[in-house]
Chain A
């Protein structure tokens, strides 16, 4: 029951979805859409596990005062404000007590963390009372302040100014800078990769240099270099990528068949 039923389920659902692809009927399409929605729903519920894991790791770090524990507050604050902003929106132009609401919410979260982290009983009680007061204030504002409201079933929260600002001025700059950092680290990797030791390494070097010179207007014969680079990307590179993609495709199909037939069982975990 614990191990056999999942194998049977994988086989039945896998074969069913595999075969329905070849049935050219609108009901088959409906079944496809229906089960696709299943995977989306189950996947999103599984996301809660990941968020819980992030929360628990951060809380444990604070509780144990592990190195860099203070930064876990930053992670938790980022997580909770983003969720709070995504479910709320102003009803008009006035902010009302909105900023006070989310700041009190964050302080409440901090107080709850302190309740968990504190070893002194007296201070633990004090933080508990503080967290209750802050929670009551947060709830009271959310009930009585009419300048903003919660939106769980409509996507108005996505238009919340603060949600958008957090995305535009925090998430995008940090993520793109992290990828931009690789421009520097890749330079040292390039030194090792680009040494022309044999024909193959020379081909690698030549192809990379040609692609990198593609948009450089100052090198001699820039027009021909750009043309050669475009040709290289669209012809020999295309051939290589096509062969790699076919290899990946065969690998995906082989692995999927192994999973459906119960040969590959890694997803079951232990126990």
Chain B
């Protein structure tokens, strides 16, 4: 690893620790990282959408035309229409003509909702219903013998079927949840509670794994700084350690400043009291 890459890595570790410092309290390091990521993310998405959205869907379609003909001589001149509509969105900058931006907005919403209805019907409802209703009771007690923890057994299929129906019944509010209907709805709540618990646990584990990954990155940085990686770095120099100690110094100075500030404000409060 060359020194420039190590400097980038150091900055990555700096912003990681700056972001973690929010656990203590809101502070200038966290604010710096927060504001930086807002700007960088916005710039990143501008570039990604430009290169992966606008270039293939607009510029390349009009590439064989000429600007002095306003691209009307290209093989697909109708792609100018969405570009003009897109520019009409900018009338929002004017109070007087802001209403014009409703036209492209209306087309956008019309197209999106029109596409969404059959696609949602297919993926969110039909396919889910199909998967639920195509019950198979083969290998009812599990594949290869008695195994209650086999998620693909006939029993598991039955539990999924009953779970889905009961949870849907719980969501059906046009009939009072009384009698057998209420008892099935109760089963639906239990199913949903298991689902929420599992989702919660899964989210916690996802965050923990992200945390572990960040700590690993800091650890890797320390190893590179001290040249204690599995394969020694041929480009290693003492400047790596200078950068390492520089960063440690920043952290230590900030902690000392916070401690001093804490005790001085405490003694000031005691004096005032």
Contact = CB atoms under 8 A, between A and B. Distances in A.
Contacts of B33: 174
Interface stretch (B44-52, B64-72, B225-233): B44-52
Contacts of B57: 37, 40-41
A171 to B, nearest CB: 5
A51 B96 CA distance: 21
A157 B51 contact: yes
B198 A232 contact: yes
B163 A171 contact: no
Given A79-B43, A183-B208, A243-B188, A249 B124 contact: yes
A52 to B, nearest CB: 7
B105 A180 contact: no
Interface string A45-89: 111111110100000000000001001101111111111011100
A181 B49 CA distance: 29
Contacts of B151: 230-231, 234-235
B114 A186 contact: no
Interface stretch (B77-85, B237-245, B262-270): B77-85
Contacts of B32: 71, 74
B260 interface: no
Interface string B126-165: 0011011000000000000000111100001001111110
Interface residues of B, number: 124
B112 A39 contact: yes
Nearest to A78: B39
A183 B131 CA distance: 34
A175 interface: yes
Given A186-B207, A235-B159, A243-B163, A74 B36 contact: yes
Given A44-B50, A45-B87, A211-B197, 15 more contacts: A41-B57, A54-B39, A75-B39, A175-B41, A180-B211, A206-B197, A207-B193, A211-B202, A212-B201, A236-B163, A243-B171, A243-B191, A250-B125, A260-B110, A271-B99
Interface of B: 8-9, 11-13, 15-16, 19-20, 22-23, 31-55, 57-61, 63, 78-79, 81-83, 85-87, 89-90, 92-93, 98-99, 102-121, 123-125, 128-129, 131-132, 148-151, 156, 159-164, 167-168, 170-171, 188-208, 210-211, 213-214, 217
27 contacts: A18-B114, A21-B115, A42-B85, A42-B89, A42-B107, A44-B50, A44-B54, A45-B87, A54-B39, A75-B35, A78-B40, A78-B43, A167-B44, A178-B19, A180-B210, A181-B19, A181-B22, A186-B207, A190-B204, A206-B194, A207-B196, A247-B171, A248-B124, A249-B121, A257-B117, A268-B102, A268-B105
